[in-house]
Amino acid sequence: MPTVAYLANQFPSPVEPYVFEEIGELRRRGVQVIPCSARRTDAMQEDQLQSLAAETLYLQPLGLLLLMRGAWLCLRRCTALANILSRVLLQGGEPPARRARTLLHTLLGACYALKLQGRGVQHIHVHHGYFGSWVAMVAARLLSIDYSLTLHGSDLLLHGVYLDTKLKCCAFCVTVSEFNRDFLLEHYPGVEPGKIMVRRLGVDLACTPTGAARPDRELPRLTMLAVGRLHPVKDHAFLLHACHELKSLGTDFLCLIAGEGPQRPWLEHLIRNLGLEAQVKLLGHLCRQELDACYRLCDLVVLTSRSEGIPLVLMEAMAHCTTVLAPAITGIPELVKHGETGFLYHAGSLEDFVTQIEIIRNSPTTLPRLRRAARQHVLEHFDREKNLAALAELLVFRITRKERHDAHENPVLQQI
């Protein structure tokens, strides 16, 4: 079985459980996986994450000697990087600052290649299309091996910098929704369609209740839950303004927001300015057990993101038979079918968001059927165990196929 370097921007991360789940699935199939991370993570409580962090190969911090060796490697192997450097320096319309950062990421890629030398790595797989994917591409080129990547949502819709080059150079690309695949083929017509494959994420249905015991009741007080990093792309400000509108309409509600991030001080200030201290609570980061308890207790899980792939939060809520409300963007309608497995609103429309909440509040008799249909939809299409197996089979097949092809082409290898 091959040895694969598995790179993420920050690993291990509790908000990206699919990365270490994929590593575990590949290892169960005999693949040697080296977890790698561009950045070090914060202190973690979970034992599993601490164990993974201890074996992770971290690119940063970088020592001066490693940087000098990386620069020398780039100079020595400049012909291998010629088309990549030509794209950065001579082509496209990126501003000078972006080009300069990408040259720095090229140096980081050389340092990553040096860290992987001597470890028998035959393939690099990277999650997300951010700067880590450029680092992986450069390292693979310098090591004369293939690389592949998984694209999720914002990394291709909002931050698709040099994605044309990354797609051209990768052996294959996995993405999490049909929407993403169609987007890539439409906006990057030079990419071979067979390179881009859909493999969905999933949730562990064995660890979620069926929801049969959830009472069918009127909702005198609506309890809403939003889960996500406190970051501009999640647009919690939209949610707070919607809460202000609900309050002005006399709606009795409680909105719980789970997650941490750089926008917390600003959101706390906005909550005070809108007079929502009694209606909105910031819960901070929740562990798995605490989050599952919130899914069971709340009436509605809401999502207000500006960009997404297919959010795990919605899958988890639907698996718990909790009603969901989300914007009709990107791949979300593949999971949330309006009026069948959940509710959708027009992205950016406070009026439609509030209208959908009122519809949900006034539909107590129809919600049990919808919640059961939601869980069944997740069971059929977003089961973690099945989807992990499908992804692992794809990765193993594509990587070992390259090995078989190389052995066939190389007469020396044929004699071994």
pLDDT in tens, 53-97: 899 999 988 999 999 999 999 999 999 999 999 999 999 889 999
Asked if the model's pLDDT at residue 402 lies above 80, the reply is no
pLDDT tens sequence across 325-382: 999 999 999 999 999 999 999 999 999 999 999 999 999 899 999 999 999 999 999 9
Q: Does residue 105 sit in the same domain as residue 115?
A: yes
Q: Does residue 157 sit in the same domain as residue 235?
A: no
Distance separating alpha carbons of residues 165 and 102, to the nearest angstrom: 12
**SS3 of 329, please?**
coil
pLDDT of 15 reads: 82
Token pair for residue 370? 């919808």
Token pair for residue 366? 């129809």
**SS3 of 335, please?**
helix
Asked if the model's pLDDT at residue 233 lies above 70, the reply is yes
DSSP 57: E
Asked if the model's pLDDT at residue 6 lies above 70, the reply is yes
CA-nearest of 68, 98, 78 to 162 is 98
Give the domain CATH number at 237. Answer: 3.40.50.2000
Q: Does residue 36 sit in the same domain as residue 100?
A: yes
Residue with more model confidence, 136 or 407: 136
Distance separating alpha carbons of residues 54 and 32, to the nearest angstrom: 16
Q: Does residue 143 sit in the same domain as residue 80?
A: yes
pLDDT of 411 reads: 45
Q: Does residue 36 sit in the same domain as residue 62?
A: yes
Local confidence band at 405 (pLDDT 50, 70, 90 cut-offs):
low
Tell me the H-state helices in 145-197: 154-157, 163-169, 178-187
Torsions phi, psi of 50, nearest 5?
-65, -40
pLDDT tens sequence across 272-319: 999 999 999 999 999 889 999 999 999 999 999 998 989 999 999 999
Structural domain tally of the chain?
2
pLDDT tens sequence across 147-156: 999 999 888 8
CA-nearest of 24, 36, 19 to 139 is 36
Asked if the model's pLDDT at residue 320 lies above 60, the reply is yes
Local confidence band at 247 (pLDDT 50, 70, 90 cut-offs):
very high
Distance separating alpha carbons of residues 170 and 126, to the nearest angstrom: 10
Share the mean pLDDT of the chain: 91
Token pair for residue 319? 């698996």
Residue 106 CB contacts under 8 Å (≥ 6 apart), including other chains: 74, 81, 84, 85, 88, 134, 138
Check: CB of residue 148 under 8 Å from CB of residue 125.
Answer: yes
Q: Classify burial at 217, counting beta carbons within 10 Å of its beta carbon; exposed 0-12, middle 13-18, buried 19 or more.
A: exposed
Q: Does residue 332 sit in the same domain as residue 259?
A: yes
DSSP 203: B
pLDDT of 404 reads: 53
Torsions phi, psi of 36, nearest 5?
-135, 150
pLDDT of 210 reads: 61
Asked if the model's pLDDT at residue 36 lies above 80, the reply is yes
Distance separating alpha carbons of residues 108 and 138, to the nearest angstrom: 9
Residue with more model confidence, 142 or 155: 142
Name the CA radius of gyration of the chain, rounded: 23
Q: Does residue 122 sit in the same domain as residue 236?
A: no
Average pLDDT over residues 21-29: 96
Peptide bond into 96 cis (omega under 30): no
CA 36 vs CA 30, 48, 116: distances in Å: 18, 16, 10
Q: Classify burial at 377, counting beta carbons within 10 Å of its beta carbon; exposed 0-12, middle 13-18, buried 19 or more.
A: buried
Q: Does residue 193 sit in the same domain as residue 239?
A: no
Q: Does residue 86 sit in the same domain as residue 54?
A: yes
Query: How many Cβ atoms sit within 10 Å of the Cβ of residue 176?
Result: 25
pLDDT of 60 reads: 86
Q: Does residue 256 sit in the same domain as residue 242?
A: yes
Q: Does residue 18 sit in the same domain as residue 45?
A: yes
pLDDT of 14 reads: 84
pTM comes to 0.88
Check: CB of residue 14 under 8 Å from CB of residue 44.
Answer: yes
Strands 32-39 and 57-58 turn out to be: parallel
pLDDT tens sequence across 92-125: 889 999 999 999 999 999 999 999 999 999 999 9
By residue range, what is the domain housing residue 303? Answer: 205-381
Q: Classify burial at 98, counting beta carbons within 10 Å of its beta carbon; exposed 0-12, middle 13-18, buried 19 or more.
A: middle
Specify the residue for token string 């999720």.
Answer: 152
Q: Does residue 165 sit in the same domain as residue 220?
A: no
Lateral strand order in the sheet of 253-258: 280-284, 253-258, 222-227, 300-302, 323-327, 343-345
CA-nearest of 415, 410, 402, 412 to 2 is 402
Distance of CA 337 to the CA centre of its chain: 21
Q: Taking the chain, what is the end-to-end CA distance rounded to the nearest angstrom?
A: 16
Distance separating alpha carbons of residues 170 and 323, to the nearest angstrom: 39
Average pLDDT over residues 222-251: 97
Residue 191 CB contacts under 8 Å (≥ 6 apart), including other chains: 167, 168, 173, 184, 185
**SS3 of 213, please?**
coil
Distance separating alpha carbons of residues 183 and 204, to the nearest angstrom: 28
Average pLDDT over residues 252-278: 97
